[in-house]
Structure 1
C-alpha cells in the first residue's frame, strides 16, 4: 500500500478506470458524503437514492475501501433475503480480488474463508468473525460481531405490505443492535416501498437521528440527477411503465400512501367491438378493432357463497396486443343455483369453461388461495367434456391484495393503455374502481382482484398449446 492511503473517491476512480467506467456526478456526491460522514465520526447513516443509480455498487466500493484502510474491520451485510446480501458480499470480494490497491488483503492459498457469502482478508488480528458476512433479514446473526453493518434494501415490496409485516421487519432489524460493537457504524441503504416506510423522518421514526443523504431522480427544478443515463424521454417512459405511485416512491423517494393513487374508471378507453378469428397460411389470427392480439387469458377468483352474499366469484378475461395495450374483454360474476342437483363448484366450472370457449382463451388461471384448491382439476374435467383445449393453471397470490391491484392497474391507467369492452361497464367493475381505497374494510374488490391477476400475468406468452378448439389454430403468433 502507498504511504498515503487513497481516499474513497480516489479508490473508486481507480476501480472505475480498471472497469472502463466513468464516475458521474451523482456517484461522486454519494462517495463524498460517505467519506465526509466517516471523517465527522457519524455512526448512524441513511443513504436514500433512486432505483438504478448504482448505490449498492458504490456501497460495495465503500466496504472494500474500509477493509483497505483497516483490514481488521468486520462488516455484516443484511438484506431482505440471503441471496441479495450475498450479491453485495460477492461484489466486494470481486473488487478486492482485482483492485490494484488491495493485493495485500488477499489471503494465502488455502488460508481463511473466501466464499461468496463470507470471506476473510489477510489481517494481523486473530478474530472469530469473518471480514465480511452476508445475512438475510430472517437469518440467525446471534453471536456475530461487526464494526460496520450495512442494511442494504432490507425493505422490499414483499415484507412491508401489512402492518404486521412492517412491525416484524422492525423487530428483526433491532437484532442488529446487539451485533454492532460499541463505536461501530450502521448504514442503511434503500428506497421507500410504503407510506409507513422504515426510512420516513420525524419524531419517533425508526431511523430517527440518522444522518441522511436523499437523492431523488429529479430535483426541485425537474432536472435529472443523472442526465447521461436518465434522459427526459427515458424518465417519461419509466413513469408510464411503473405508474405514478411506484415512480414517486422508488424514483422520487416519497413515502406516499396508497391513498394517493386513485383508480379512475374514466381513464379506461371503451370499445364495443368483438374479436375476429381467421386462419391464414396455417396460422390462427385473432384481431380486435384491427389490432392483432398476441397474448391473453383469464383469471378466476372463485367463491361459493350463496348468490348475493359474501365474496363474489369473478372471472376476468383480457387480451394484449403487440403495442402494450391491454383489452379487458369480459368480466363475469358467476352464480349458481342452490336448488340444482349439481354442486356449486361444478356449476361454476361449467360456466367458466363455456366462457373460455366463446372467447378463445388460450389459458385460464384459477386462484387457489383458500377454497379454490381442488377447482383446477374439476375445471380441466369440464374443459375436456366440452372439447375445449384451454390450459388451466393454478395461481397463488402471495402479495397483499391492495398491493396487487395497484401494481397491476396504476401503470396501465396512467399510460391510458387499458381498454375495456362496453359490457364490462354494465357490471360492478367501474363502481368498484371508483370506490376502492387500499385496505378499506368490507369493500367490494373481487373484480379488481381478478383483473389484477390477468394483468400481472402478462406479458408472458405460453408455449405451444393444443388447438383452442377442433376448427381453430393457435392465434398467439409463431411462439404460441
Structure 2
C-alpha cells in the first residue's frame, strides 16, 4: 500500500536517495495520482493516513498535507495519531530530530504546524471532509481515506458532487511531484474510487482479503486476517456484502456486473 502511494512521487525513498535536498527530487519525479481498494480491517488508515504523513513530514518539513475523510472528524482520528508520534515517539525523534511541533503556530486535531523555514499561514497538515474546504491554494499531498460513506456513494446527486469536487478542485491543488490519492473499501461500481480507478493518469491497486495472485506468499491464502475470521464474516454478512467489503468485487457471484439498484440492498 505504502509503495503504491509513494512510488514515482518526490517522496519516493528511491528518488530521495539520489538528491541532497528533498526539493531537488521534484525534477526527477512526477505527480502520483493513485486510487486503491482495500478490504476493511486491513490497517489501511494506519499505513496510509498515519505512516505516510509521518514519513513525508520527516523528510521535508516544508510539505503541506491534507487528510480528507467522509467527515472532517474522520480525518481527525489519524491526525491525532500523527500528532502523538511527532510529540512523543523517541525513535522517530532520534532518526529525524528536525521534525518538531510548532505549538505557537498551531497544534490541534484539525491542523498542525511543524517547525519550518516557511512562515506560511497554511498548516503543515490539515483535515477536512469531502464537502469541506482546504486552506491554501497549493498542496504537496492529498490523502482521501474512505471519503464516501454508503449513503453518499448511492446518491446520484452526492456522488456526482463528490467526484466533481475531487476532479475540479482537489486534484488541481496538488503541485508537481506531489501525491493525490483516494483509497478505501468499494461502495458501488460508480463510487469515487471506482471512477478514479478508470481515470487517465491514475494508477489503481485492487487488494482483496485473499492473495489472488501469490504476490504476498501463497496464492489463495489470506493476506492479513485469519482464515477462520474471514469464514465467519462471509457467513455473517452474506456473499454479496462479503464480496464488496472484503474482496472489493464489483461483480456478483454469478459474474454479472452489478447494477446500481442491486447495491441498495447489499
Q: TM-score range by the shorter chain?
A: 0.7 to 0.9
Matches within 5 A, 1:70-469: 70-99=60-89, 100-102=91-93, 103-107=97-101, 110-141=103-134, 143-174=136-167, 175-200=169-194, 207-220=199-212, 221-226=219-224, 230-256=225-251, 406-407=265-266
Report the Cα offset of residue 68 of structure 1: 0.3
Q: Could you tell me which runs of 5 or more consecutive residues in structure 2 were left unpaired when the two chains were aligned.
A: 16-28, 213-218
Cα distance in 1 for partners of 2:2, 2:166 equals 25
Rg: which structure is higher? 1
Q: Secondary structure at the match of 1:164?
A: helix
Q: Secondary structure at the match of 1:207?
A: coil
2:18 maps to none
Q: Secondary structure at the match of 1:233?
A: helix
Closer, same or farther: CA 79–237 of 1 in aligned 2, 3 Å: same
Q: Could you tell me which runs of 5 or more consecutive residues in structure 1 were left unpaired when the two chains were aligned.
A: 1-29, 262-399, 408-480
Q: Answer 1 or 2: higher relative contact order, Cα 8 Å, separation at least 6.
A: 2
Greater fraction strand: 1
Cα distance in 2 for partners of 1:241, 1:76 equals 36
**1:65 aligned onto 2:55:** yes
Retained in 1: the 8 A contact 2:122–2:136? no
Cα distance in 2 for partners of 1:231, 1:142 equals 42
Q: Secondary structure at the match of 1:154?
A: coil
1:54 maps to 43
Report the Cα offset of residue 32 of structure 1: 4.0
Number of residue pairs matched?
A: 233
Retained in 2: the 8 A contact 1:82–1:139? yes
Cα distance in 2 for partners of 1:245, 1:35 equals 32
Report the Cα offset of residue 187 of structure 1: 1.6
Cα distance in 2 for partners of 1:34, 1:182 equals 15
Cα deviation 1:5-60 (Å, max 9, x = unaligned): xxxxxxxxxxxxxxxxxxxxxxxxx3344454424635212232211110110111
Closer, same or farther: CA 206–31 of 1 in aligned 2, 3 Å: closer
Cα distance in 2 for partners of 1:45, 1:210 equals 5
Report the Cα offset of residue 195 of structure 1: 1.7
